[in-house]
Structure 1
């Protein structure tokens, strides 16, 4: 049976396995989707070599960047982004793509307001790189926020009323708040968030994270990552099937 799967670490919570297996069942597709929860990205070679019917993989935290050296080819957009979340496998040859840009753009486009022209991206990992690429393509001015001054434009301690006011879109690309650690959240000054802001959390479980809840309490519009995941999953399916 044709097999697809997810490469990641601590991925019991994953949306992808449930989504694709439901899709296969509903559409009478003879395929299965399984999780590959691995401790080291180098294990991907063994997985591909030992799985005769493996046709495609999704890649999630913490391997979106680390997987690149193990690929045989990489799509030009994914190479520019510097992160891969989808792999097509042909005769054990791995070709890397990024569907996060497509998924994010599709999910957020209708929510963009005229006053939204600058964004804070919380985090600097592979997902953050894809979101940056998407937002720059949409004409946004971007600033990264990181705990490490060398990785971001601002540290969390540097965020103040003026910075928050001048960035109407705030995107959480960190894992803070993911189930089961639902009480965690990025340490931004939420008291300066108001109704002019849109807070976007790539996390989808829980549906309302502490990050989103605090934004909503201050009047901000909020959206979680579920629609992005659905869109990028369908784009991955197209890639795997040459559509």
Structure 2
């Protein structure tokens, strides 16, 4: 029996277990299970690896995408550039290699959303962990970007009150990497001037629950193209499976 799973601090509302369990049933993949491993501290990680003899791969979620790095023997170049790992492949002799499937999921999903129109500039809303993979994807697609944050003393990071008509006419792609609008706080959204949006704008929300966030609703009301993070979630899960089995 091969075991795969997810490590994190709180895994009550995990997408991964349901997704992989249904995948195994649908594709008739035998002798394999996907488990949830809640660990109160990353210091418990080595013991988990030691105790689970048939563990072949892990997904990593909050808050361990950065904290797990010192425990890995090798890191994939894309994950190294992102600076975070959300997939671990457990190789022979329990050698651990880290990957970032968020990078792959977002890249494929964004390319489909833009439909080849990469002659755009982007605003990344938020500077937290979720923005890291987004940044590297934009660099690899040669899409110039600026970060936007609620509070910033750095000249290269904009604040929301700096967003004016000039920025919105020159930056057509707006990516929300903040948790604003995520269930249960569905009445929240990034404070951007939505009235400046139009049909040439693309709003990508990494939030996937609810499927139609307030950020997306306000964008669509002003003619913008909108997309949530659900496809990215599916793509990164499938990339995880590919990594574990390649």
- Normalising by structure 2, we get a TM-score of 0.89
Note if contact 1:121-1:144 (Cα within 8 Å) is conserved in structure 2.
yes
The gaps in structure 2 that reach 5 residues or longer are none
| Structure 2 counterpart of 1:101, from 100, 103, 115 | 103
SS in 2 for 1:121: strand
SS in 2 for 1:64: helix
User: Quick check: 1:183 aligned with 2:187?
Assistant: yes
The gaps in structure 1 that reach 5 residues or longer are none
Q: Which has the larger radius of gyration?
A: 2
> 2:15 maps to which residue?
15
Partners of 2:77 and 2:118 in 1: how far apart? Answer: 32
Partners of 1:37 and 1:123 in 2: how far apart? Answer: 27
How far off its partner does 1:115 sit? 7.4
> 1:143 maps to which residue?
146
Greater shift after overlay, 21-30 or 41-50?
A: 41-50
> 1:233 maps to which residue?
237
| Structure 2 counterpart of 1:125, from 113, 128, 138 | 128
Note if contact 2:68-2:85 (Cα within 8 Å) is conserved in structure 1.
yes
Partners of 1:170 and 1:7 in 2: how far apart? Answer: 31
> 1:42 maps to which residue?
43
Partners of 2:216 and 2:11 in 1: how far apart? Answer: 22
* Number of residue pairs aligned between Structure 1 and Structure 2: 242
> 1:26 maps to which residue?
26
Residues 21 and 62 (structure 1 numbering): CA distance in 2 closer, same or farther, change over 3 Å? Answer: same
Hey, which of these two has a bigger chunk of helix by percent? 2
Residues 9 and 209 (structure 1 numbering): CA distance in 2 closer, same or farther, change over 3 Å? Answer: farther
